[in-house]
Chain A
Amino acid sequence: MPEISGYAFPNDVHVHWSLMIVMYPYITGFVAGAFIVTALYHLFGKKEFEPVARLALATSFCFMAIATFPLNLHLGHAERAFNVVVTPHFSSAMAGFGLLYSGYFVILLLEVWFVYRREIIETARRSRGVKRAFYAALALGTYDTSPEALEVDHRAVKLLSAFGLPAACMLHGYVGFIFGGIKANPWWSTPLMPVIFLLSAAVSGIALLVLLYQVTAKLGRRPIERETVQAMARWLWFFLILTVTLELLEIVLLAYENSDAWHIISQLLTTRLEFSFISVQMIGGSLVPFILLAIVVTMNAYLHDRVRNTLASVASLLLLVQVFSMRWNVVIGGQLLSKSFRGLRSGYQPSLFGREGVIVAIALFVLPFVLLWVFDRVLPIERAAPPAEPSREPAAEPARRTA
């Protein structure tokens, strides 16, 4: 039994939304964040992002493929999950999930298909037997690679990015809405919530790509482009500043307005969430990477590639932790305070084993990377023969694996 300080409503002592509901926005955050990176290239013509555009698309796709897993693991009746699309009750923020999720998934599938269509066809032409049949099926039986057809593909990708970006933003903004729309819970109920979720999604997505890009470049023995790392670091810095500003604003507003819940929320932050909010989310996860990225952004000209890559990698790792702790502090933190506004329950420790346990959560985080590897086998993320570039100084920093 959890310990209660003060008075909590007797039904308010359970953390029904467990580690899996922390994992869900964490994972969809990567979906949205990685898609923003692809869009920066496809839509906004940021050429520096060219080397990560396909990786970002693949990452977004792989995280999307498992995004429903944590939800189904959490549901009391996962076998009824389809009720959400069979009898959606549209006054619920959750009911739109079926539409948003499948809509975005379709966009992502189509975009991957259009981006890879030429290569799919070429592979089909080159292979025999089962492999040929597989790629022929993937190509939907049309082998048109005329310049006009490729131009159609190109425009399709652009159009899909244009729809995909708002769809990705809505998919993740809606996750924030699920929390922001609960007027019963003062720690959740703020219109800032969807925005904070969205911005931190961008942070986590870019941070993950900073790491993935360097790891895959190492593994593929490709040079790490200075401009790409630099550009990602700059955008990461920008989104970090926005996120943390809003995260702090939310709290400062509560305090300044002396909201009816402020006395309990201030207790929550300084006792139950002291470590995960103040130490991890704000200091270790925000202040430190802010400084590291500031060095990368403002002192670009003076930095050795190795230093820049290291700084960006460390900052990215810390930001991955920051975003996780932010999800944790919102989801779990909101359930530690009772709606009586008079009591807090003791901190929540997820079980190690079990359906909603730590091991499953780690597996969930590793799974998209496995999928990414499979994806790369089927549809190579790096183009087959990149034009040979004069090899630049080997960046020696062995970027860490995040999983």
Chain B
Amino acid sequence: MDETESDARAPAPPPAPEPVGRREFLANALRLGGGVLVFLSGAPALGEDHVAEGYDWTQHRYAYLIDTEKCIGCGSCVRACKAENGVPDGFFRTWVERYVVSPEASHVDSPKGGLDGFPPIQTPFTPTKSFFVPKMCNHCKETPCVQVCPVGASYRTQDGLVLVDAERCIGCGYCVQACPYGSRFLSPTTHTAEKCTWCYHRVTKGLKPACVEVCPTATRQFGDMRREDDPVRLAIAHGRVSVLQPHLLTEPQCFYLGLDKEVR
């Protein structure tokens, strides 16, 4: 989690050069192979930083905060995501899980990803606690999905998102297999890998992702780590947050409050 700390350390001056850790160095060295090939093939002129009108991606580094104690399982986020992004039926860029737990047993469900909310449920055991956990792409820093993409169709942007270039994706599905969170799928319409983009078409216009926009209980929050006074930044910097499957060292950028041991 050293990277996380370096993010949270101090209100970094906007285009702060990141200290190069050993792992990063190795990764860069690995990437160099591809880079050299690209260079030899007539390196492309460095494009402008402009990814959208009036938007400089070096001025932002996004993070996501999910407070599981607030989630009521209404599924508004799942519906909003589908409407905003045209997510194909039966596939999910975000979904909500319900955990019903007793010291002896546990039950998890997510009917249609929570798209229509949750029905009442009877468990064979007497639950002692129960809660909802929204899930989505964690936009990991050390993401296994980008690592395994054979053609450079998956990548991580400078403002901290993991995106898929649907024009270069060959639809091999390796990234889908490599994501430990089940956040990716092969779209039945485009036959390419698809996933949550943190609504990049919204955040580059200063809007929040659709799921955050509609969340009625502020379970979902979206923030910018490059803004000193950002509430999400403050919560991650000062609060006790956890991430999903930390042992895999993927360094997720979705942080959770009140995560239970049952959640994977």
Direct contact of A and B (CB under 8 A): yes
Binding site for B on A (CB under 8 A): 1, 6-7, 9-12, 14, 16-17, 71, 74-78, 80-81, 83-84, 86-95, 97, 178, 181-185, 334-335, 338-342
10 closest A-B pairs by CB: A76-B171, A9-B182, A76-B191, A184-B180, A94-B150, A7-B108, A83-B151, A16-B173, A89-B152, A95-B150
Q: How many residues on the B side are at the interface (Cβ–Cβ under 8 A)?
A: 51
Binding site for A on B (CB under 8 A): 27, 30-31, 33-34, 37-38, 90-92, 95, 97, 107-110, 112-113, 135, 144, 146-153, 168-174, 176-186, 190-192, 248, 264
Residues of the B chain whose Cβ atoms lie less than 8 Å from the Cβ of A10: 91-92, 95, 110, 112-113, 182
Residues of the A chain whose Cβ atoms lie less than 8 Å from the Cβ of B152: 87-89
Closest beta carbon of chain A to B82's beta carbon, Å: 12
Q: List 16 A-B contacts (CB under 8 A).
A: A1-B90, A9-B135, A11-B184, A12-B182, A14-B186, A76-B186, A78-B170, A83-B150, A83-B151, A84-B150, A87-B152, A181-B148, A182-B144, A184-B179, A340-B264, A341-B264
Closest residue of chain B to A179 (Cβ to Cβ) is: B177
User: Is A7's CB under 8 angstroms from B109's CB?
Assistant: yes
A83 to B165, CA, bound (A): 12
User: Is A87's CB under 8 angstroms from B168's CB?
Assistant: yes
A92 to B107, CA, bound (A): 36
A94 to B150, CA, bound (A): 5
Check A75/B170 contact, CB under 8 A, given A88-B34, A184-B180: yes
A94 to B168, CA, bound (A): 15
A83 to B166, CA, bound (A): 13
Indicate which residue in B135, B151, B179, B186 contacts A80 across the interface (CB closer than 8 Å): B151
User: Is A342's CB under 8 angstroms from B178's CB?
Assistant: no
A165 to B144, CA, bound (A): 31
User: Is A92's CB under 8 angstroms from B171's CB?
Assistant: no
Residues of the B chain whose Cβ atoms lie less than 8 Å from the Cβ of A75: 170-172
A11 to B135, CA, bound (A): 11
Residues of the A chain whose Cβ atoms lie less than 8 Å from the Cβ of B180: 183-184, 339
Closest residue of chain A to B191 (Cβ to Cβ) is: A76
The listed residue with most B CB atoms (<10 A of its CB), out of A11, A88, A181, is A11
User: Is B248's CB under 8 angstroms from A183's CB?
Assistant: yes
User: Is B171's CB under 8 angstroms from A182's CB?
Assistant: no
A71 to B170, CA, bound (A): 11
Check A94/B182 contact, CB under 8 A, given A10-B110, A75-B172, A183-B248: no
A392 to B178, CA, bound (A): 56
User: Is A92's CB under 8 angstroms from B148's CB?
Assistant: yes
